[in-house]
Amino acid sequence: PYNGPTKEEVLETRKQFLNPALFHYYEKPVMIVEGKQQYLYDETGRRYLDAFGGIVTVSVGHSHPKLVKAVNDQNELIQHTTTIYLNDQVAYFGKELAAKLPPHLDCIYFVNSGSEANDLAILMARLFTGNYDVVALRNCYHGMSLGTMGLTAHATWKYPVAHGFGIHHALNPDPYRGRFGNDGEAYAADVKDLLETGTSGRVAAFFAESIQGVGGAVVLADDYLKHTYKHIRDHGGVCIADEVQAGFGRTGTHYWGFETQGVLPDIVTMAKGIGNGLPLAAVATTKEIAATLQRRIHFNTYGGNPVSAAAGRAVLEIIDEEGMQENCKVLGDHLLGRFADLEAKHDIIGHCRGKGLMLGMELVKDRDTKEPAVAETKKVFEDMKDMGVLIGKGGLYGNVFRIKPPMCWTKEDADFMCDALDVALSRL
Ligand code: PMP
């Protein structure tokens, strides 16, 4: 049992010494002292079902024994070297990760966070193409570094300082709220117009999450990427897929989110689930694009350190050994079925969406006006916690539940969450 400082002491200490911008998710903060598989435990030993995985970061389950062993073994050997020396873990992790990607994306650069990965992707795209304009989507989230803050498109995350220049935000191909519904080709035509009117006509890159995460599990309209990639390439740009949330089997039908749209990106960025919680991220691209970094020296102190690399290698193995991609498919389909039943019963549910274990449920006050049901979402969210289920919340107005649990969830977990949602929604 836990016998450290009390929750109140921790809260007070955090308030005193950590930046006040840090927010806690619940009115009365939850303190987590232990995690096993799909469960989290607070300081009193109370168990919660984890439906959010620390923002989609815990992919294969909390403290998975195989991963713990891989990390511990590496810890005992050596914790850190940097890439100025050779180390087997980093090199072989690169090889194993490349084997999971389309064959042309066989050159990996390891970094520590999604923001760093996306910064590096922009840098490579600009060097490779000789252009600087970048197109991203409204409602996207790509990071908090000054470079990626320019990409990120929610006012809530953008500080009024100079950040990421040369970025143009296209209409979001959101089938529920977007202007053209589920017509991906129409949104792509808007990108073409943007390229021809808002830029010099030559661009460096197009950036998109395969399913928007922070924006509320928004699945891009059908065929959107296929048409948009063509327009971008016609205008000299490369196409970048941010797989920070949607990658590693989570969508169920495919290992990578971009595959669900049938496209082949030129650069893929990854973070979060890649290391199951250890600081680890990566940029995968072609040898030709990667070679542009050789024009100067590029260095990242912790990028691909042996401990994180050992974790990453274990994650790849666990996903395959335990059939987690297939589990995401089966559970995702089951959950969407249960969501449909809830939608039929509760008028406040405006839209349910997603793929595999990357799902969203949007609450609205009125199904016609689609006015976000912000206070109601918050209430259900708190109620779910009191019933022992920690779900996620997102979208610009915070009116979308984000269901992105560790990929070791079971049907019983899925049903328990849906039953709890039914109770919480009925109490509104
Ligand atoms: N891309 C996406 C799609 C993300 O969801 C996030 C984090 N929420 C990032 C990039 C940035 O990752 P990090 O917080 O590790 O910098």
Average pLDDT of the segment spanning 128-136: 98
What 3-state DSSP class applies to 8? Answer: helix
Our answer on whether the CB atom of 113 is closer than 6 Å to any ligand 1 atom is yes
3-state DSSP helix/strand/coil % of the chain, to nearest 5: 40, 20, 40
Average pLDDT of the segment spanning 249-268: 98
Distance 12 CA to ligand 1 centre (A): 28
Q: Does residue 143 contact residue 119 with C-beta atoms inside 8 Å?
A: yes
Q: Whose CA is nearest to atom 13 of ligand 1?
A: 114
Our answer on whether the CB atom of 115 is closer than 6 Å to any ligand 1 atom is yes
> What's the ipTM?
0.99
Distance 263 CA to ligand 1 centre (A): 22
- From 141, 219, 404, mutation site for ligand 1 pocket: most ligand atoms within 8 A of C-beta: 141
Token pair listed for 264: 């082949």
Which of the four pLDDT bands, split at 50, 70 and 90, describes residue 304? confident
Q: What is the pLDDT of residue 412?
A: 98
Report, in angstroms and rounded to the nearest whole number, the Rg of the chain calculated over CA atoms.
21
Q: Does residue 309 contact residue 90 with C-beta atoms inside 8 Å?
A: yes
Q: Closest Cα to residue 195, out of 185, 186, 205?
A: 205
Token pair listed for 55: 């923002």
Give the contacts of 65 (CB within 8 A, at least 6 positions apart): none
* DSSP character string of 381-411: HHHHHHTTEE-EEESTTS-EEEE---TT--H
Find residue 212's DSSP bridge partners.
218
- From 212, 245, 274, 280, mutation site for ligand 1 pocket: most ligand atoms within 8 A of C-beta: 245
Name the architecture of domain 7-60+323-426. Alpha-Beta Complex (3.90)
Q: Could you state, in order of their start, the residue ranges of all structural domains in the chain?
A: 7-60+323-426, 65-321
Give the contacts of 130 (CB within 8 A, at least 6 positions apart): none
pLDDT tens-digit profile of 374-424? Answer: 999 999 999 999 999 999 999 999 999 999 999 999 999 999 999 999 999
**Ranges assigned E (strand) in 234-309:** 238-242, 267-270, 281-285
Distance 279 CA to ligand 1 centre (A): 12
Give the integer Cα–Cα distance in Å for 232 and 412: 44
pLDDT tens-digit profile of 320-344? Answer: 999 999 999 999 999 999 999 999 9
Q: Class of 65-321 per CATH?
A: alpha beta
- From 115, 251, 256, 269, mutation site for ligand 1 pocket: most ligand atoms within 8 A of C-beta: 115
Q: What is the pLDDT of residue 389?
A: 98
Q: Which atom of ligand 1 sits closest to the CA of residue 143?
A: 11
Strand order through the sheet with 349-355:
349-355, 358-363, 400-403, 392-394
Average pLDDT, the chain: 97
Provide the sign of the torsion angle of the four alpha carbons 339, 344, 345, 351, taken in this order: positive
Q: Whose CA is nearest to atom 10 of ligand 1?
A: 142
Our answer on whether the CB atom of 141 is closer than 6 Å to any ligand 1 atom is yes
Torsion angle defined by CA atoms of residues 210, 216, 219 and 220, in that order, rounded to the nearest 10 degrees: -70
